[in-house]
Structure formats: structure tokens, C-alpha cells
């Protein structure tokens, strides 16, 4: 029974070491960004919930898809007068969502994104979504 549950977890998502030993094929996870790419001053990842930046700084948002979930999508800001979208020029790896912003003026804005379960075509799919949210304060 444990083997069946473990094997069923091996799909198109990251597979644990024990899953790989049972015949699953692990997919490599992209490295987690810890420093901003050239041209950006601050990096925000899916572990951040609140960030403070200075007016004029450029922000790089890097979100990694969770196992069994779609890539993050619908990335938006609730106040584009505080954070202005800017092109990143960065090619994202599969499972990674990247967006760029410039801190335009002092204030607070929230960046949001959503992800939904990865389901096979024609299969029943749970009706829920994950929401990423980070509050950015510009001083």
C-alpha cells in the first residue's frame, strides 16, 4: 500500500529520493534566487511576505512552482503608482515565474499571484488555488 501511494506521487513534479528509488524520475529543481539579477536591486521570492525598498529601486520577483501545482500566473500589483512594472529581459526556467518592478513613489503595494492544481485532461480536478501575496513598502 505504501509503495502505491509513494509511486502515485511520482509524476511530472519533483520526486523525492525515496520516490526515485521506486522507479520515479526526479526532475531537478531550479536554483532559488538569493541575489538579484544585474539591473535589479532587490529580489523577492515565494518565501517573502513583506519587503521595504527605497524609491527608485528595481525589484525582481522570482516565484517557483510548488509540486503538483501550475506555474504562478496572474501576477499583478494593486497599486501601479507605487510599483511600476518593468521588463526583466530574463528567460525563466520551467516552473519559475519572473516579474520586474520599479519602486515609483513612497507608499504600499501588494503583489499577488495564483497557482492551481496540475490535473490530467479529463480527470477530476480539485477546485482550489494557491495565492502568493507580498506587501512592498516604498520609502
Place of cell 518565501: 47
Reduced to 3 states (helix: H, G, I; strand: E, B; else coil), residue 117 is strand
H or E segment to which residue 110 belongs: strand 107-115
pLDDT tens digits, residue range 64-93?
Answer: 999 999 999 999 999 999 999 999 988 888
pLDDT of residue 35: 73
Dihedral sign, Cα of residue 114, residue 118, residue 119, residue 120:
positive
Q: Which of 1-5, 104-108, 110-114 has the lowest mean pLDDT?
A: 1-5
pLDDT of residue 72: 97
CA–CA gap between residue 73 and residue 42 (Å, rounded): 21
pLDDT of residue 14: 42
pLDDT tens digits, residue range 109-139?
Answer: 999 999 999 998 888 888 899 999 999 999 9
pLDDT tens digits, residue range 11-55?
Answer: 333 443 433 444 545 555 555 556 777 789 999 999 999 999 999
Output the pTM of the full model: 0.73
Amino acid at each position: 500500500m505504501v509503495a502505491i501511494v509513494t509511486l502515485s506521487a511520482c509524476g511530472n513534479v519533483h520526486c523525492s529520493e525515496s520516490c526515485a528509488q521506486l522507479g520515479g524520475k526526479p526532475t531537478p529543481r531550479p536554483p532559488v534566487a538569493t541575489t538579484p539579477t544585474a539591473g535589479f536591486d532587490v529580489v523577492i521570492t515565494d518565501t517573502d511576505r513583506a519587503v521595504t525598498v527605497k524609491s527608485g529601486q528595481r525589484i525582481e520577483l522570482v516565484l517557483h512552482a510548488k509540486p503538483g501545482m501550475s506555474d504562478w500566473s496572474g501576477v499583478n500589483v494593486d497599486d501601479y503608482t507605487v510599483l511600476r512594472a518593468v521588463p526583466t529581459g530574463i528567460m525563466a526556467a520551467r516552473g519559475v515565474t519572473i516579474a520586474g518592478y520599479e519602486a515609483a513613489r513612497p507608499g504600499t503595494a501588494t503583489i499577488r499571484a495564483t497557482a492551481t492544481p496540475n490535473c490530467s485532461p479529463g480527470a477530476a480536478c480539485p477546485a482550489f488555488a494557491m495565492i502568493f501575496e507580498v506587501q512592498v513598502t516604498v520609502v
